[in-house]
Amino acid sequence: MTDYEATDFFKDQSVVDDPYPYFDWLRSRCPVQAEPYHGVTMVTGYEEARSVYTDPERFSSATSVTGPFPGFPVPLEGDDISDIIEQYRDQLPFSDQLPTFDPPQHTAHRALLMRLITPKRLRENEAFMWRLADRQLDEFLAKGECEFVREFAGPFALLVIAELLGVPESAHETFRQELQGERRDGVAVGSTREEMAHSPLEFLYDRFTAYVEDRRREPRDDVLTGLATATFPDGSLPDAQDVVRIAANLFGAGQETTVRLLAYALQVLAEDPDLQALLRKERDRIPNFVEEALRMESPVKGDFRLARVPTDVCGVEIGAGTTVMVLNGAANRDGAVFEDPNRFQPDRANARHHLAFGLGIHVCPGAPLARAEARVSLERILDRTRDIRISERHHGPPGARRFRYAPTFILRGLTNLHLEFTPVD
């Protein structure tokens, strides 16, 4: 029997392999519960998670992707640590990235981002997705097998975002070669220039800086010009680096979540021939299948917040300076909201109520993009294959599967997924 009292969520391999029993144990004790090793208050209840996510006045996002690492120099006492947060904000990792911003900075930069991800641009991007899905499938379909993460999900997610941001199609292969397969699992986006040296982020920053500066000198009728000339809500033109950081963040965050969503969706289908047959026959079920996949295996396990003031979450007191981790993966399996929460139900009526994309001002701006990527991918894969199966040679037989997951306390997803299938003639 597992001793959850002795489990270190941030270091134990058992929680990487399967975090859900630990989440259930935490929730059974209290849905707002301090873990013993790093002073982090873990939020595992659905309503409690909503309470934190929708309260940016009391909870800062300055440490949203780093949590307690490195330590934040604030006392766990006092009435309001907002001034201390601002004093040290720029010294924190990833402080140049949108997920760590608080209002009013977040408000302005989020508005800039949403001027780039417009409904019209997303519709144009979806037309590209259909062509790209076929192109990726053409690379391996005849073999009757693939490593899905490397051969489909990774390049597909990367090139969809490249096209969304207007990267010329002639440069797509360069982006794929520079970025695909080189990034470490769990690397977040954004940091200092020194920390980015010799990293994929250095390539992204350099390439998009050149794009933005070129389009500002010589505007054209293209998406990159729209990227370069987008303005803040007050009409001011952002620094080139502000635009570049948004582009880099989209590449990192968008890929991580979409790749893991696609891999889990195919893992579910490959284990269930009847479900495959149903979705092939009734394609209108695919969107809800995607929502249930997001609920069951949230690509982001959770986000951190830092309590600015002494407060409470659904009756549990939290001191100023407390690091709070809102666990999407736990909230999405809260039995008070989702009946039989640990069972995958593709027709679950409230599947879309999940918190896989967060909530509040930091709700994932790329959620519509990820949903479209999953829907298009599943349709084309189902169109062009039959009897998709898990490779027993790589993952073992049914009932004794062997899968490896991203070794990070932020992300949840397979590092690889070997599939076998029969191509449609």
Range of the domain at 364: 4-423
Checking DSSP bridges between strand 323-327 and strand 316-318, what pairing results, if any? Answer: unpaired
- Read off the pLDDT of residues 362-388 as tens digits, 9 standing for 90 and up: 999 889 999 999 999 999 999 999 999
Q: Work out the pLDDT band at 1, boundaries 50, 70, 90.
A: low
pLDDT at 184 over 50: no
Q: Beta 40-43 vs 323-327: how paired, if at all? A: parallel
Please state the rounded mean pLDDT for residues 165-169.
Answer: 88
Residue type (1 letter), 200: P
pLDDT at residue 300 in the model: 93
Our separate counts of H helices and E strands in the chain read 17, 10
Give the CATH number of the domain where residue 247 resides: 1.10.630.10
pTM over 0.85: yes
Q: What percentage of the chain exceeds 90 in pLDDT? A: 69
**Strand extents, DSSP E, 219-342:** 302-307, 311-313, 316-318, 323-327
pLDDT at 305 over 90: yes
Of 102-106, 225-229, 271-275, the one with minimum mean pLDDT is 225-229
C-alpha R_g of the chain: 22
CA dist 290 → 154, 200, 241, 345, 369 (Å)? 18, 29, 35, 11, 13
Mean pLDDT over each residue of the chain, to the nearest integer:
90
pLDDT at 75 over 70: no
What does the pLDDT read at residue 299? 94
pLDDT one-digit tens code per residue, 106-122: 999 999 888 888 888 89
**pLDDT above 80 (res 91):** yes
Q: How many structural domains is the chain composed of? A: 1
Alpha-carbon distance 73 to 75, whole Å?
A: 7
pLDDT over 90 at 187, yes or no: no
DSSP 307-344: ESSSEEETTEEE-TT-EEEEEHHHHTT-TTTSSSTTS-
More reliable by pLDDT, 45 or 168: 45
Position 197 scores a pLDDT of 39
What's the mean pLDDT in 313-341? 95
The pLDDT of residue 181? 53
**Is a pLDDT exceeding 80 seen at residue 193?**
no
Non-local CB neighbours of 344 within 8 Å, separated by 6+ positions:
268, 292, 293, 296
Report whether pLDDT(191) > 70: no
Q: Over 80: is that where the pLDDT of 77 sits?
A: no
Which residues make Cβ contacts (< 8 Å) with residue 221, sequence separation at least 6? none
Q: What is the C-alpha separation between 96 and 188, in angstroms, rounded?
A: 12
